[in-house]
Amino acid sequence: MDTNALRLFVLAADMLNISAAGRQLGLAPAVAGARLAKLEKQVGADLLHRSTRKVSLSLEGAEFLPFAKEILAQEDAGFAALGRGSPEVTGTVRFAASSTFAQLYVAPVLPTFLKRYPGINLELKLSDTQAKLIEGGFDLALRNFAIADSALIGRKLADDKRVLYASPDYLRNNGVPETPEDLAGHQLLVFLNAKPRDLTATGARACSYPPQDSKARIICDDGANMRAATLAGAGIAMGSMWSISRDLKEGSLTRILPDYEVNDGSAIWLVYPKSNVLTAKVRVFIDFLVETIGSPPIWAR
């Protein structure tokens, strides 16, 4: 199959203009039209509906489009592996990440990335509610837990060390827990739908957070607001070091039961579907995030 014709089809489907797509590839309108017609004859379907006023994607064209993109991605990846192809990386990367993490670490480094790669655009979905990577059509996502989905592969960005914390004001008013059992008598903040996490310490009996038979005073689905409530003295919460390391250093938050930490194999991963070819645009974005945020993680430097 002529991949040049596929590239023309993908551009025309995006721009809904065959002549403009042809010009972008250095083709005259008549040549572009003939090349698309030849491709349609080869696949046995009309991929684009044409009229004197507009061009639209046919039902068959919409079904064929993702396969055409995949073929082109594999071609580009193959050439890149051989050191061939365009030296300028281009395209749009669709990236999903935790809003809290992105505000602290991703957003501040984006100007540097855009300057380094002027041909790449970013489409960001930032929410503490986990996005469905494959169904949502994302190229890449940031996940901070142990990967269990066999349809995903990823690259580790950093360890995700999680600890218990509270504000000094809360501890002055309510006392400092000395043992995990003491937690049941405190005001606890937990994430929505979160399972109890194992807490371990050298030479101590394992326990969990939240403790059994305890009732959370606040249940929240947003990390930034949970941290804000804890800073204001609402109670004890569990959080990642990347989220609260600055507060711990400044003294606005205090670590609780410092010998204990969550031990569940969690880490911060950059993941993408196994079915996707790791295109140059995604690869350079992954490399950039590891360079600027991980190895070692920026919050531990």
CATH code at position 99: 3.40.190.10
Q: For residue 80, what pLDDT is reported?
A: 63
Domain end call among 81, 116, 145: 81
Comparing C-alpha atoms, which of 142, 243, 147, 148 is closest to residue 189?
243
CATH number of residue 191's parent domain: 3.40.190.290
Whether residue 86 lies inside any domain: the answer is no
Average pLDDT taken over every residue of the chain: 86
Q: Picking from 139-153, 199-213, 216-230, which range would have the lowest pLDDT averaged per residue?
A: 139-153
Predicted confidence (pLDDT) per residue in 268-301, tens digit: 999 887 765 677 888 889 999 999 998 788 998 7
Dump pLDDT digits (tens) for 163-220.
999 999 999 999 999 998 899 899 999 988 878 888 888 878 778 888 887 888 999 9
Same domain, 167 and 255: yes
Asked whether residue 113 is assigned to any structural domain, the reply reads yes
Residue 196 sits in the same domain as residue 253:
yes
Residue 124 has pLDDT above 90, yes or no: yes
User: Does residue 256 register a pLDDT over 90?
Assistant: yes
pLDDT value of residue 166: 97
In a domain, 104, yes or no: yes
Q: How far apart are CA 219 and CA 234, in angstroms?
A: 12
Q: Do 155 and 186 belong together in one domain?
A: no
Q: How many domains does the chain have?
A: 3
Looking at the predicted structure, is the pLDDT value of residue 249 above 90?
yes
Residues 292 and 254 in one domain: no
| Whether residue 295 is found in the same domain as residue 153 | yes
**Over the range 249-281, which residues count as b (16 or more CB within 10 Å of their CB) and which as e?**
eeeebbebbeebbbeeebbbbbbbbeebbbbbb
pLDDT of residue 282: 87
102 and 62 assigned to the same domain = no
Residue 192 is part of which domain span? Answer: 162-262
Same domain, 140 and 222: no
Structure confidence by residue, pLDDT tens digits, 24-39: 888 888 999 999 999 9
Query: Which pLDDT does position 150 carry in this prediction?
Result: 59
CA 301 – CA 289 distance, rounded (Å): 15
**Cα separations (Å) of 56 from 16, 49, 143?**
6, 5, 37
Task: Give the type of residue at 167.
Answer: S
> Does residue 136 lie within any of the structural domains?
yes
Closest CA to 161 of 247, 244, 102: 244
